[in-house]
Amino acid sequence: MSLVCANDNTEAGTYAVVVTQSTSQANDKGTPSFASGAATLGAPESYTVTSSGQSATYGVSAGESLAQAASGLDTAFAQAILDFSAEIVQSGSGSALQISSASYGSERSFSVNSSGSDELGLTGSSFVGSDVAGTINGVAATGDGQVLSAPVDDPTLAGISLLVATPGITSSTSLGDFTYAPGLAGGLANLTASAAATPDGELPAKITSMQSTSKQLGSQITVEEQIVVQQEQQLQTEFNNLESTLATLKSQSSYLSSAFGTSASSLGSLTGSSSSSSSSSSTSGG
């Protein structure tokens, strides 16, 4: 036995495993009428193996050995992508050709048809595998091929699944105890599950807190944006007022410059005239 998987809620412990039926492959064992694999077939015929809507056909030639027929069927299975194989098996003092599925369980089934007298003794409508059956810790388990699984809703086992490959069991047989101890990964999974559990888990509480903080920050951002808009409008108004004041001052400056410039010119003219008059007077007196 070996562990396939366990649920986060599976409890560590030692559990008794009892099997009432072994798993098996779907197989078709032909008639053991040949002395060995080297024995030859007397007449040609073809065999068609069908499974899940897919078929593989091989034509056996007269004089072909049992071993050659097995090899030919294997080639046909590979070409049709069917997971089956053919082999020579001993049965008492004779040999026979047997077709088997590669996988186990009741999901695997096939049928065999022949075009002639069926010298190999393989023809049949349904060859089906079987699932393992039994209990884990006294609880009825479900078989799927070689995997035996406890119910997911069991409070202790919580769906633990075991690989049971022991062949040949047809009645209640104890396989001993299986001890389950979650490793590091299992421990982390349990810790994560506990942290995430609602409504009191650490993660949900943290998420709720962060969502609340996010809403508060959103409201605060909205208020700050409104303040920024108001300040921008106020600064724009002040800027416009300053531009208007500067324009007024510039106009006044131009006016004053013009006014004082004209006055200076007039004063210069008057001063020049007076000087000329004084000079003339002085000359005449002399």
- Reported as a single tens digit per residue, the pLDDT across 128-139 is 999 999 999 999
pLDDT of residue 152: 94
Sheet containing strand 94-104, edge to edge, reads: 25-29, 94-104, 84-91
Residue that wins the pLDDT comparison between 155 and 192: 155
pLDDT of residue 271: 53
Residue 53 has pLDDT above 60, yes or no: yes
Mean pLDDT, the chain, as a whole number? 84
Residue 283 pLDDT grade (very low, low, confident, very high; cuts 50, 70, 90): very low
Q: For residue 191, count CB atoms less than 10 angstroms from its CB and return exposed for 0-12, middle for 13-18, buried for 19 or more.
A: exposed
Over residues 235-252, the pLDDT tens digits come to: 888 888 888 888 888 888
Averaged pLDDT for residues 114-126: 93
- 3-state secondary structure at position 23: coil
Tokens for 148, please give them: 């035996």
Q: What is the 3-state secondary structure (H, E, C) of 147-204?
A: EEECCCCCCCCCCCEEECCCCCCCCCEEEEEEEECCCHHHHHHHHHHHHHCCCCCHHH
